[in-house]
Every structure is written in C-alpha cells, then in structure tokens.
A = this chain, B = another copy of it.
Amino acid sequence: MTYSGASSRTLSGEISEEAAGREYTLKGWVMHFRDHGGLIFIDLRDYSGIIQVVFDENEKNESFKSAKKLKNEYVISVTGVVRRRPAGTENSNLKTGNLEILAASVSILNTCETLPFQIDEETDVNELTRLKYRYLDLRSKRLRENIIFRSDFAHAVRDFLGKKGFYDIETPFLTKSTPEGSRDFLVPSRLNQGHFYALPQSPQLFKQILMVSGFERYYQIVRCFRDEDLRADRQPEFTQLDMEMSFVEMKDVIRLSEELFESIFKKVLGAELATPFRVLDYDEAMNTYGSDKPDTRFNLLIANLSDIFKDSSMNLFRDTLSKGGVIKSICLPGGYDIVSRKDIDELLAVVKDFGGKGLAWTKVSRDGSLEGGISKFINAGEKNSLLTKTGGKPGDIIFFQADSNKTSNNVLGRLRLYLAKKYNLIPGEKLDMLWVVNFPLFEYSEEEKRIVSVHHPFTAPAMNDLKYLETEPLSVKSESYDLVLNGEEIGGGSLRIHDASLQERIFKILSISPEDAKVKFGFLLDALSFGAPPHGGIAFGIDRILMLLRNEHSIRDVIAFPKTQKAYCPLSEAPSGVTEAQLKELGIRLIKKD
C-alpha cells in the first residue's frame, strides 16, 4: 500500500498538445487493455478524462514487463513522456485523442478482481447486479456524467438563488408526523419512549414558519421521504428544490421559477430556454389533454362533440348526453392505414383498463367518407361538423368516448399517451415546459368519504371564490401552479393561507375538528396569528427533472445510490435486521408473524 500525493500527479485533462515532449506522472484506472505483442496499449482513465498509454518492449525500461501484469480496472501510477500519436491512429472521440504517453515506469496502486460485468457496456446484466456493484456501474460514462450533471445542476440552482437574495436554510429531519399527506417514515425515540419522529415528506410547515420568522426568501435542496408502495419512477427518499417567498403573488413565483430554469439551462446545458412558458388553465388542460400534466410535445387534442351528437341516431350517445355526460374524441392522423382490426381490439382492452366502458371509432377514408366502426350511425351533417371539430382528414381515425366529462377526459387523456407511444408521435429531443394553474382547491375522496385538499390544506383559495367556500367548496379554485415538463409534473406550489381564521375555515371544510387541528397543526395556527406575511412558494422534483434532462428512463439513473422498487439497497443490503437490545432501548418489539 502506498499513499500517493496529488501534488505529484498530473490529470489527463491537463495534458494538451503543448505538453508533447515533456514527462508527466498520471494516476488512474486501466481501461481497454490491449496486448499487441511488442506493444501494449491501455487507456488511462482519471477524474478528468482519458488518455492512451503505450508500453513499448523496445524502450530500455521495466515498464513493458510491468505492463504485462495489468488488467482492466487496476489502479496505476504511470510516468512517461507525452507524444503525438502516429498519423492515422488519432482518436477523435477523446479530448486527448491526438496524444499518448510513452510509459517509462508504471506501478500498481491496487488490483481488481474479475469484473461481474464490463464497465461501459450496455449488456443484459440485470439491474440488481448493477446496483450491488454500484461502484463499478458508476464508473461508466453514462452514469458518471449523470451524477456530475446533477452536481452542476445543484450548483447552478444555488448560484442563481444566492444572487436573487434567497437564503439556504436547513429544516429538521426528525420532525412531526404529517397528517393529510402520504404515509410517513417513523423514527422511534429512545429518550421519549413510545413517541416517534417522522421524516419529512417536505419542509412545508417549516418553510411557512420561516416566512413568519421574516426571512422572506428561503430555499433548500433537501431530501424528502414518503413510505409509498413504489412505482417505477418513485424512491422512498427523493430530493426536492424547496422555495418560499413572502409578499408575492402567483406571477412573482412563476416569473422567478422561469428565470431559474433559464439560468440553469444556460449554465448546464448551454441552451436558451424560451420564456415565459405557456400557461394552461386546469380546466383547459383537462378538457384538451385529459391530464393535469399534459404532454404538449404532440397534438391528438380532445374535442368535445356533445353539440354535434345531441340528436344522434345512436342510443348510447343520446343517453349519455341526457344523463349530463359528454361525447368526446381524439383523432389519430394517418390512423386509417396504421390501425388494424387487431390494434382496435388491443385499444379497446386498454381503454377498459383506463376505466372506459368501450371504444367507438370511425375511419376517414381516402374519399373523405366515414368507414367502419360507428360510421353508419353518423349522418352527413354530423360528419361535416365532426371533421371540422376534430380536424379529421382523409386517412385518419377518430376514437370516441361517451361518458361523464371526468371519465371521458381521463380515458382519452390516457389513450392519447398510449397512441403517441405506440405510433412514435413524440419528438425525442423536444423539451416542453408549461404551467398548469387554477387547480380546484378541493376534491371529493370516495375512499375517505370526505372533501380533501387537491394540493395540501395550506393552499390559498382564489380570492374571488372565498364567498362560496362553504356553500360550493368543490367549485372553489386555488392560487396554485404546477410546472410540467414533457408530460411529467416537475414542480408545484401555491400561495398559502396567511390568515389563521381562514385556515380554520379550511380545516372545518376538510372535516378536521378544532381539537384535531390543534394537535396536528397547532403550531402553524399559532404562527399565523403572530404577524404572518402573505407568502407562497414552490417545490421542484430534482430527480425527475434530471431524469428528463438527461433523457433517462428511470430516476435511479440520476441518483448515486438508489433503492429498488422494494425500497431495498442491494449495495449496503439496507434495510436489515437489528438486535433485540437495540429494539428494547427504543421500547418497541416486532409483531410476530402468524
């Protein structure tokens, strides 16, 4: 074992054409070991890049003999003179591709066992193995660049917000269980047995308290926790850019967020981002895209055909309308040829999965007439209006839903995404950012049989709707805004309630009793009554944003040490068993399984 000093080392990235003829010592990892008889080539990889090293049998030194012992991923220190590569052997993929080092001496700083998979090769190795040997997978160009991008991204965020006068303020991780959210991770307290901390789902209450404290501009890049049943794109711990500002209106938070992304794009992607972003009203998003996080990179817009079919010869259409439902559609351009009878069967199954009752359709034939599906129930007048409203042209196919507005939107919104993927309608390179605003404040939860908050109970209602807060709560809008990128929600926020009595009214509508409110949120209600300023904020999901910007398919690929969908870490084998003594100290025991 040797302790080798950085001081006695040159990075490959520091070696330029002018270095030719001079001797340097480099340290790093062996890549692409190639034994060509009298010549051995390796690529030496360090933190700054890659450079080719040549060991030549004809050179009068020991290096060639030592090089025979090298294997891929050995850690070495190599000393030699930099020279231009012979003409025709340059590698334009490397920054140092015109240069190489002719080794004079080499020493092995550490060896490497046989690799379970080859670095940088996209093989069929399963993800569990890659996660178990994460330190090997992290050496690959792709993951390495993702993690470095993440660091650069965080740096750009902090730089921008620092300049805008935001304070980076740390909030507690051992905090109080948050009702009205997802499931908390709990931490048993040893010093207060029988009591538990909760890991924060977000610093929501603390950032509001910071506004009451007078800091006015807060941000934090902070880990948050949710004990959910994990889907493909979730992690039990995730990172949020959390912000809050005092004395602001919605437009201030929106403008600042846009400037933030402009600045980040410029710094880490070298790209200009067009601002302001498009702003969609929640109702418009639902009615046009069938989603509150619409993917606007492609069309396939939902059209409302209720007016057209009010006298339809189809019972289904008339019945639906008479029950207050709607007839809606999307039109797939070119669908006449590409959607087969078999595809339609598949789409019908898919639509039923999405909660639809069925899938009516009609094709528009070359001569402009309707063909197949429900075409025979559509008269000439209806046809003309239909093609106008849907933009349907010869060669297209139109799909219908006749159902409640909510179900029709939802089913067509999901069908829209399904068709776009199936028929490759999504431009790969495009980044489409937009705001969705004016969400409803409340929704009715069938599960809980009560009114619940769409965002969280601290969201401010729209001023103009205050008057029917109690009488028509479900029609009250909120001062809220979500940021959507390529059909993924990447951020969301709202103005908050800063008036204790209004907050109490909201709790009442949510069926949270004054006693419960006091136990759960007492400190927030207290704080609101001691000079709380008007305030609002937003939080961005960093993992999701990085995944989209890096064109990855999983947030696991932008997290250094992610967990599996079972919330398990194959590297450290967490979670794991603990001793009886540990549990006893905490005053808990395991429930025996039956």
> Chain A residues in contact with chain B, CB under 8 A?
1-7, 9, 27, 29, 45-47, 73-75, 109-113, 115, 132-136, 138-139, 144, 147-148, 150-151, 154-155, 158, 162, 165, 167-177, 183-199, 205-206, 209-210, 212-217, 223, 225, 227, 229-230, 236-237, 239, 245-252, 460, 463, 466, 479, 495, 497-499, 502, 522-523, 526-534, 536, 559-561, 563, 566-569, 571-578, 582, 584-591, 593
Contact = CB atoms under 8 A, between A and B. Distances in A.
A29 B183 CA distance: 37
A167 B147 contact: yes
A6 B256 CA distance: 11
Contacts of A45: 214
B588 A176 contact: no
A205 B572 contact: yes
Given A110-B532, A247-B27, A215 B174 contact: no
Contacts of A560: 169-171, 206, 210, 213
A591 B582 contact: no
Given A6-B248, A110-B499, A75 B531 contact: yes
Nearest to A533: B75
B190 A183 contact: yes
A221 to B, nearest CB: 9
A530 B113 contact: yes
A2 B147 contact: no
Contacts of A115: 530
A531 to B, nearest CB: 4
A109 B153 CA distance: 37
Contact of A167 (B148, B193, B566): B148
A376 B27 CA distance: 67
A134 B167 CA distance: 17
B196 A248 contact: no
B247 A5 contact: yes
A147 to B, nearest CB: 6
B177 A578 contact: yes
Q: How many copies does the complex hold?
A: 2
A158 B193 CA distance: 39
Contact of A214 (B29, B151, B593): B29
A209 B571 contact: yes
Contacts of A559: 170
A134 B567 contact: no
B168 A155 contact: yes
A213 B530 CA distance: 51
23 contacts: A4-B248, A5-B252, A29-B214, A46-B214, A74-B531, A110-B532, A110-B533, A111-B531, A113-B530, A135-B210, A150-B170, A158-B158, A171-B561, A172-B563, A174-B237, A176-B573, A176-B575, A185-B187, A188-B588, A195-B576, A196-B576, A210-B560, A588-B588
A370 to B, nearest CB: 51
Given A132-B523, A183-B585, 6 more contacts: A109-B533, A112-B531, A135-B213, A150-B169, A171-B560, A588-B590
Given A46-B216, A212-B135, A2 B530 contact: no
A523 B572 contact: yes
Nearest to A501: B1
A47 B165 CA distance: 10
Nearest to A561: B172
Contacts of A590: 193-194, 587-588
A247 B4 contact: yes
